[in-house]
Amino acid sequence: MADADAHALDATILTRDAALLKDTVRDAGALAQSMFRTELKKWIKGASSPVSEADIAVNDLLEARLRAATPDYGWLSEESADDATRLSRRLTWIVDPIDGTRNYLGGHDEWCVSVALVEDASPVLAAVFAPASDEFFFAARGQGTTLNGAIVRASPGAELDFARVAGPKPLVERLKPSLGDIKLHPRIGSLALRLCRVAHGALDAAFAGGNSHDWDLAAADLIVQEANGRMSDLSGEPILYNRREVAHGVLVAAGRDRHAGIVAHFRNRPLA
């Protein structure tokens, strides 16, 4: 009975947190949209990553709302100083306030707010909101993926239409080197949105070229999984989140059968 009660409690918490996540990400997206295409203070962090006052404002909203409601959860955000206490928390919010900041600052539509709730190393809730194109992806573990409230699924089959594949061209060309000049889907500057495009069948597959981070990936990962897709490294190993090291190598997302074929290809022809 104790285990059943614990499971029921977890389900109740998940339902509560799902509502919190949806409302908060919608409000964060509205704030980002209100600052979009305005004059913003901006600067470079690290070697070449742009950041603006909009990134910080959205991060502050997300942190204030989510952490106030769930003070026992960990927090990992691209725009917050890393707090190692997250490593000891069972549940952790993983946040990218504006994924695709270059697009955002350039006035282009392909950017989003991306937030996941991770239990141990795996996402259990995910929301990705692209206000400029009015796309709201949501997934809960075991409950499927929705886009603006409608259930979506990754495209079935194992074949590849390269015009429906997004990612670094030299990497994709390794799938079919005999084809010559491959025509890829136009570049999508937000990695989270690139991956989410697999979840509703707009893309057959999407690649991340390396040096992506937990905040780029965690929400999109669950969104793809719950749409009958898979996302992994090229060996097929699942991605683990909320570890001390939050950077990742080359990754691929696709519908389950197509993903299996891509992984088999790279197992036989590894990158290095």
pLDDT in single tens digits along all 272 residues of the chain: 345 555 554 888 889 999 999 999 999 999 999 999 999 999 998 778 889 999 999 999 999 999 999 999 999 999 999 999 999 999 999 999 999 999 999 999 999 999 999 999 999 999 999 999 999 999 999 999 999 999 999 999 999 888 999 999 888 888 886 656 678 888 899 999 999 999 999 999 999 988 899 999 999 999 999 999 999 999 999 999 999 999 999 999 999 999 999 999 998 887 76
16 by DSSP, 3-state: which? helix
**Would you state the pLDDT for residue 45?**
85
Neighbour count for residue 133 (Cβ, 10 Å): 11
Q: What is the distance in angstroms between the CA of the first residue and the CA of the last residue of the chain? A: 51
**Would you state the pLDDT for residue 178?**
64
**Would you state the pLDDT for residue 184?**
85
**Would you state the pLDDT for residue 177?**
66
Q: Are 108 and 189 in contact (CB under 8 A)?
A: yes
Residue 249: Cβ-neighbour burial (10 angstroms; 0-12, 13-18, 19+):
middle
Q: Quick one: DSSP state of residue 185?
A: P
Cα(130)–Cα(142) distance, rounded to whole angstroms? 23
**Would you state the pLDDT for residue 269?**
81
| Short-list 224, 256, 62, 95, CA closest to 147 | 224
**Would you state the pLDDT for residue 2?**
43
List the alpha helices (DSSP H) in the chain: 2-35, 53-69, 101-105, 169-173, 191-199, 214-225, 256-268
Q: Which structure tokens are listed for 79?
A: 């725009």
What are the beta bridge partners of residue 182? none
Rg, the chain, Cα only:
18
pTM check: above 0.85:
yes
Cα(77)–Cα(67) distance, rounded to whole angstroms? 12
**Would you state the pLDDT for residue 211?**
85
